Chains A and B, each alone.
Chain A
């Protein structure tokens, strides 16, 4: 082969290789996104942000809410009442409009959300994070994905990106996504495509670097859930040990100590299988340490001494017709006597026939700032 021909061939191969590497590095995303133990969370802000930040108040209304990716009263397949999987765009937008209206009525200063879809076929690809920032008075947000796959090859789920979020009236900083352990009872392929739950942590400089910590623990495997709760407690302990002040909470997927009903819920319809989650036997003391070390929005004594605990329940498989059947959602703080007495609220009014906004209802409480 002539020398110049060989050189040209070499140049050509180099060009092709460089081109492929450049394209691969520039554009390609993995089929499944895996996460480091700690990563920076994603920052959002409303399309129109006021030039002057709201003044720092004396008290702060904090709320947590699992919004079921804007699913409203749709019966999804995992609750076993129907077989719905994918929402149409108008369904998502209608539900989100009502969620935003409710948030505006409740008027929280800090909002912890779970199951926010930002790029999911299930939710017609509506970026719910951006939608809620643009349609509420909360202008700043951080988001951490707990499930980001190009295509979840099961039940027609398709592209999925959803997870917890924190919305705030003031800018958030030091936002971290902290990975939680994966489920251990699935085959490797299913585990690879499955949820990668996390803790979302951020601080609010405007509020003297108040930490906000949001978690959504495993719903279906108890052995994993207790690890998530322990790690969540560990994160709170670390903030507390460092002298920081926090509000924390989310969907812990387990019951408070002293719950009168811990299994055989009237709304459980799924049989044995992946979505079997209606039995909390053996979990009675899993939140003892959290309750012992920190103040909860709903005082434990009030909950345990109630003849009827139902007004405190935050979750139901079918709340519009069967009501809420258990308490899974919590707010904690390490500020002693930090909650304004009697300010806690369990917003069960989000579920009325025809206008149910989620299978979880929000929990809110007012906090006194130092």
Chain B
């Protein structure tokens, strides 16, 4: 019954969010934007970095690298985005990335405060896990300052051993991503809408769906709404929220839970000077 009610709520919220995205589209005006959440790659020599968003670097006009530098200490990670030819008005790109979460998971499998995974000897050591994701992004300019991006992809996790089901961290955003390690595969679908408002303001909204067909905790639906204030092409502030609806472990079957989380980020960018 809970799951059914959760699905109904999910439909309601999804509808409201879709309306919000449409509303933001109607508020469009002309302003330059950064290239977050689109199929566009950064211009050659430009890098962007946020407190929480990854460091991204445009190597050429068609190739972009991204990584979380701090996370690299405990979760080595790398992602590339490759722009492709336009198709019927849609800009296309593919994004491919990997991360190796084993060091972080072993770090938090500890006794005492900070132990997010039980250290007990009854639960086997975390195996080596290599997770990879490939996805297709397609962006269309709806008006002079509105960009719609659709995306879909697949993730796989290669493991050197089985993971005990008790190893999960049953928190929003975290559990759906750890579910990939448990089941070995995951599909993702989503859409982003980036809208420039008058002045230095813009709005970035998105919806993402993580799915593991056949699994009990099979989905996580995530929606983000961010208001962005761009001081210049080199600095912007992002404030908003993340709404998460997902299936989490429970007895006798998975339970749908909702969480609303605050989001804040600061983002810097620089353009490397071209060699003369």
Contact between B111 and A124, CB atoms less than 8 A apart: no
Contact between A155 and B112, CB atoms less than 8 A apart: yes
Nearest-Cβ distance from residue B29 to partner chain A, whole angstroms: 8
Contact between B169 and A151, CB atoms less than 8 A apart: yes
Contact between B16 and A19, CB atoms less than 8 A apart: yes
Contact between B120 and A85, CB atoms less than 8 A apart: yes
- The answer to whether the Cβ of B75 comes within 8 Å of any Cβ in the partner chain is no
CB-defined contacts of A35 to chain B, threshold 8 Å: none
Of A7-15, A99-107, A225-233, which binds chain B?
Answer: A7-15
Contact between A121 and B121, CB atoms less than 8 A apart: no
CB-defined contacts of B260 to chain A, threshold 8 Å: 20, 23-24, 27-28
Contact between B23 and A154, CB atoms less than 8 A apart: no
Nearest-Cβ distance from residue B235 to partner chain A, whole angstroms: 23
Contact between B115 and A155, CB atoms less than 8 A apart: yes
CB-defined contacts of B170 to chain A, threshold 8 Å: 121, 151, 158-159
Contact between A23 and B243, CB atoms less than 8 A apart: yes
**A-B contact number at CB 8 A:** 96
From A1, A86, A127, A151, give the contact of B198 (CB < 8 A).
A1
From B27, B114, B225, B243, give the contact of A154 (CB < 8 A).
B114
- The answer to whether the Cβ of B123 comes within 8 Å of any Cβ in the partner chain is yes
Contact between A77 and B225, CB atoms less than 8 A apart: no
- The answer to whether the Cβ of A190 comes within 8 Å of any Cβ in the partner chain is yes
* Residue interface bits A59-91, CB-to-B below 8 A is 1, else 0: 000000000000000000100001111101100
Contact between A20 and B241, CB atoms less than 8 A apart: yes
* Residue interface bits A268-282, CB-to-B below 8 A is 1, else 0: 000000000000000
Given known A86-B166, A126-B251, contact A190–B113 (CB-CB < 8 A): yes
Nearest-Cβ distance from residue A7 to partner chain B, whole angstroms: 11
For chain B, residues 14 to 31, give those with C-beta under 8 angstroms from any C-beta of chain A: 16, 20, 23-24, 26-27
Contact between A8 and B26, CB atoms less than 8 A apart: yes
CB-defined contacts of A8 to chain B, threshold 8 Å: 26-27
Q: How far is the CA of A153 from the CA of B109 in the complex (A)?
A: 11
Contact between B169 and A154, CB atoms less than 8 A apart: no
Given known A85-B119, A86-B166, A154-B115, contact A12–B24 (CB-CB < 8 A): yes
For chain A, residues 21 to 48, give those with C-beta under 8 angstroms from any C-beta of chain B: 23-24, 26-28
Q: How far is the CA of A119 from the CA of B113 in the complex (A)?
A: 21
Interface residues of B (CB under 8 A from A): 9, 13, 16, 20, 23-24, 26-27, 109, 111-123, 166, 169-171, 197-198, 225, 241, 243, 249-251, 258-260
Query: Which are the 8 A-B pairs with shortest beta-carbon distances?
Result: A156-B118, A27-B258, A85-B118, A125-B251, A86-B166, A126-B251, A83-B120, A155-B115
